[in-house]
Structure 1
Amino acid sequence: MRASFERSELLRLLGPATKPVEARNTIPVLANILLSVTPSADGITDGTVSITGTDLDIRITTTGAAKVAEPGAVTVDAKRFEDIVRKLPAGAEIAVSTEPNTLIVKAGRSRFKLPTLPVEDFPDITVGEFDATFTADVAALFKPVQYAMSDEQTRYYLCGVYFHVADGKLRAVATTGHVLAQHDGPAAEHFAGIIVPRKVVPLVPPGEVTVSVSASKVRFAAPGIEVVSKVIDGTYPDYQRVIPRGNDKVARVDRAALAAANDRVATVVSERGRAVKLSFTAGAVVLSTRNEANEAQDELAAEYASAPIDIGFQTGYVASTLAAFSGETVEIAMNDPGSPAIFRDGGPLLAIIMPMRV
């Protein structure tokens, strides 16, 4: 292998490709990236470089331009190689070449020798067929529900986003059991729903991607990047059963003002898990909370014409739920102080917060 790269291009490719790589591994090759270069067909234009990182559950491959004198592939320590590239001066041209079990890296007067491992030892989790393929802006679909993903490993099937088709549209759902978010996207053909792991959700490339799904894995492909991941092997709960149908006490509040008021009253409590009480009366909502000798209260204008109601929520859930919406006004539909409340802003996102005693 003999090739050279612009430093900025190499850093751009290394960023996503190294995300799955963990420095400490019982399998040494998993600490490495797979670096592969291919010359152009005409021998005149730039060739291509691909960089792949994996942890056996996620595999990310990025591709870009390189000047390739001799094709080849090698696996090299991901962190060390990325650190070297990052510490070289801006605008540097980086040349790589191989010797037996060694990668030589040169830039200007700097020279490095890094040990390598056999390419054939590098695992490939992309083998196998996919059941369905389509295009969609999946990152935009997932973004509003990410906050509701669980990190409780005992309920591993909640530690991700349930990606499926409902009512003829793509839908993303996430829940901790205390808060739930559901976001609908464009029309789509039916496919068997999958649970995308929480570690993968923020790695989905932005914009339109080609999505391929099967019962065991999912692939998100865009120009210059491919993300392949195993899906969570579990059954997602019937989330629609917890969505209330009869919440007829409806309040409309300025979303930014409500978020700011929640943040202010939360100042006096020492834990994000503390409750804030929302007291709705005609034309107003009062937020209040207390912790030992500390008390706070804030009042906002609200569109509300039903019977007065007091309902408590965890301050952290209120903050993260309101942040997921983009509309100016949020609608809160309630039934009674012990039942979950529905949050909407007129768009495709629906959120539910379970109440707390106050």
Structure 2
Amino acid sequence: MTSPFTLTAPREALLATIETALAPVERKNTIPVLANLLFDAGPDGVLRVSGTDLDVMTSVTSVLDHSGMPEQGITLPAALLHDILRKLPAKADVTLKANTHGLASLTCGRSRFNLQTLPGEDWPRLEEKTEPPACFTVPAKKFAALLAAVSFAISTEETRYYLNGVYLHCAGEQLIAVATDGHRLARAVYSVGDGATGMPGVIIPRKTIALLASALKAADSQADLAVSVSENRICFQTGAVRIASKLIDGTFPDYERVIPPANPNRWRFDVAALLAATERVSIISSERGRAVKMTWGQEIVDLSVSNPDAGDGQDAVDVTADDDGEVTIGFNAKYLADMLAHITGSATVNLGTGGDPARFEPVHRDDDEIALTFVLMPMRV
């Protein structure tokens, strides 16, 4: 370090930067530098703070006043720095100085802390060294909605690792996000024009999806999200926040084969009413995955749950049938409720027999920009 690094900032501004950057950092690490945050110079010399777990990296640029930044930056203990800042007085100024002996001092009023540092050159970078083949921009809130519509269906079964994320790909001018755990499937489609043409189909890990969702939630309502994709990396940039992530190295299944075609057995229903009825009858269940039995008739769908140890529950919801058929089918009550919670207004369900997958779709409205399709596998009842 050729000159001491000095940073002076309001406690709230520095804390907000640290909280965003440390999101991917694991508290327990066998590699010491991974428990640290990297402070280095970002674009135009502004301060950049980054955290990583080797699979995903979050970087935040800030205009906080600093000087003497070494070329490779310095690293400071993430959790310790965050805990100290949280306990400091509100609206106070914080000064951070790093010397040439592997120590950094943090002062605020009469409070003073000395923290161990590690060299910035030991900190791993996840950025691509070459220009990615696909780059496009999408409204941040639209991309957030795209991910939120499907992420509930991401598998948590580690043996099928290729299902532990969201499959993002393009078909013409449409950007498509898909997630499935083998029992349910969610697909969301949004038109992005020709900007994403040539983008390879990629599987974004579950942790990256959660970090991105948090960043997009905090973004301005009019903000854009810049996306760059290669075969093994994906990067997202919105405002001062950049997230770079490795991708899941696997082949996502041919999900289109799972989505049943439209057929005459179709019903229209009010989503809020069916969700409320599902939650009511499932109270009787003592098991997380107990089935709710549904009999779809001409004007009513009857719902029932039976629990040999507690009793049973029944409810009914008005529906409109497109045909004169009747279908009895069972669904995992939690999966059904989770899916319905991601739809507003009215929706339709297409059913084959009681043993066929069911296709749910929101009724299209003129202001809908994202097309949703959900598939639920039936349960024996």
> TM (normalized to structure 1)?
0.94
* Counterpart secondary structure, 1:324: coil
Note if contact 1:18-1:78 (Cα within 8 Å) is conserved in structure 2. yes
What's the RMSD between the two structures over aligned residues? 1.6
Distance of 1:74 and 1:184 partners within structure 2: 42
Within the candidate set 229, 233, 242, 1:226 is matched to 242
Equivalent residue runs for 1:167-316 within 5 Å: 167-187=172-192, 188=194, 189-204=197-212, 205-206=215-216, 207-293=223-309, 294-304=311-321, 305-316=323-334
Whichever residue aligns with residue 303 of structure 2, its letter is: L
Return closer, same or farther for 1:194/1:123 CA change in 2, 3 Å cut-off.
same
Q: Which amino acid aligns with 1:17?
A: A
CA distance in 2, matches of 1:135, 1:216: 19
Q: For the Cα contact (< 8 Å) 1:20–1:60, is it kept in 2?
A: yes
Alpha-carbon distance in structure 2 between the residues aligned to 1:6 and 1:312: 57
Task: Map 1:1-358 to 2 at 5 A.
Answer: 1-36=5-40, 48-72=46-70, 73-99=73-99, 100-129=101-130, 130-136=132-138, 137=140, 138-187=143-192, 188=194, 189-204=197-212, 205-206=215-216, 207-293=223-309, 294-304=311-321, 305-326=323-344, 328-347=345-364, 348-358=371-381
TM value normalised by structure 2:
0.89
Q: Within 2, Cα distance between the matches of 1:287 and 1:184?
A: 31
Question: How many angstroms apart in 2 are the aligned matches of 1:97 and 1:232?
Answer: 39
* Larger strand fraction of residues: 1
Structure 2 match to 1:44: none
SS of the residue 1:156 aligns to: helix
* Distance apart, 1:292 and its partner CA: 0.8
Alignment deviations for residues 208-262 of structure 1 (CA, whole Å, 9 cap, x no partner): 2111101111000122011000000001100001111143211111101111100
Distance in 2 separating the partners of 1:212 and 1:225: 14
Aligned residues: 351
Classify 1:256/1:146 alpha carbon distance in 2 versus 1 (closer, same or farther; 3 Å): same
The structure-2 alpha-carbon separation of the partners of 1:132 and 1:167, relative to structure 1 and needing over 3 Å to count, comes to: closer
Matching residue's letter, 1:245: P
- State how far apart, in whole Å, the 2-side matches of 1:355 and 1:82 are: 47
Contact 1:280 1:308 in 2 (8 A): yes
Structure 1: how far apart are the matches of 2:40 and 2:107? Answer: 17
User: Does the CA contact (< 8 Å) of 1:9 and 1:65 recur in 2?
Assistant: no
Cα deviation per residue 1:140-165 (whole Å; 9 max; x = unaligned)? 22110010000111000000000000
Alignment gaps of 5+ in structure 2: 217-222, 365-370
Identical pairs, percent? 40
Q: State the AA in 2 paired with 1:194.
A: V
Deviations 1:275-295 (A, max 9, x none): 001111111111101111410
Give the secondary-structure state (helix, strand or coil) at the position aligned to 2:82. helix
Q: CA deviation at 1:270?
A: 1.1
Instruction: Return the offset for 1:272.
Output: 2.2
**Partner Cα distance (2:229, 2:174) in 1:** 16
Structure 1 segments of 4+ aligned residues over 4 angstroms from their partners: none
Instruction: Report how far residue 19 of structure 1 moved.
Output: 1.1
Q: Supply the distance in 2 between the matched residues of 1:93 and 1:65 (Cα, whole angstroms).
A: 15
For residues 124 and 172 of structure 2, the distance between their equivalents in structure 1, rounded to whole angstroms, comes to 38
